[in-house]
Amino acid sequence: MHINKISAMTSLAIASGLCLAHSELANASVVTLNLSYEETATSSISNGSGTTFTQLPATGSYSNSFSSAQADLAGAPGYSFYDDYLFTISGATADSVTSSINLGTLSLGSLEERVYSTNGNPTLPVLGLPSGLRSSWTTPVGFTAGGQTGMFTVMNPTTLAAGTYVLEIRGEVTGSSGGIYSGVLNLTPVPLPAALPLILSGLGLFGGLVRKR
């Protein structure tokens, strides 16, 4: 029964996140981001696999579940997991929305996210302040949906140069049967400055006059 509720709420959370995406993402395909690294008090995941986006706009979905309550990390009191999703892009504007719903015995708290570059961060996840930070930890906000309580967190649009980045999620697993979160990462091309097309066309005209002379 919990599995059906989890699947339903996960679908609801992802659908809600997709509704918040930019209008230009309407036709973008949705890919599933790999959980590249995870740190808890009792285990670590370190497969290093990431996702390369070759065409923008694009949307990446991500989610994770925990089967039981988790103790706090020694280096991060108040948080019991750090999850890292690696992604590689050309220049882009990125934003993200993550949500979690309390299903009685399933619960997460202190849900937050941030983005930073992999450059200068040879060991992941980074529990402290990473090098190349692009967005600070977001603020979790509580909500009620369908009689269930929960929280979400939203990362504001952040401009990223070409490179490889870490979408990092952290939180505390407080439910006796664990907890689950899901979200979407939206990527759109960095727009050209409004005057740039005019500058380029002017240079083209100037080049044509020089050749004519």
What does the pLDDT look like over 111-139, one tens digit per residue?
Answer: 999 999 999 999 999 999 999 999 999 99
Q: Are strands 163-173 and 108-117 parallel, antiparallel or unpaired?
A: antiparallel
**What is the reported pLDDT for 111?**
97
Handedness of CA 100, 34, 39, 116 (dihedral sign): negative
Lowest-pLDDT range of 20-24, 61-65, 75-79, 166-170 = 20-24
Please tell me whether the overall predicted TM-score, pTM, comes out greater than 0.85 for this model. no
Count of helices and strands (H, E) across the chain: 2, 13
* Bridge partners of residue 172, in order along the sequence: 109
Query: Nearest 10 degrees: CA dihedral of 177, 38, 161, 16?
Result: -10
> Mind listing the domains of the chain with CATH numbers?
2-212 (2.60.120.380)
Give the model's confidence band at 165: pLDDT under 50 very low, under 70 low, under 90 confident, else very high. very high
C-beta atoms surrounding 41 within 10 Å: 13
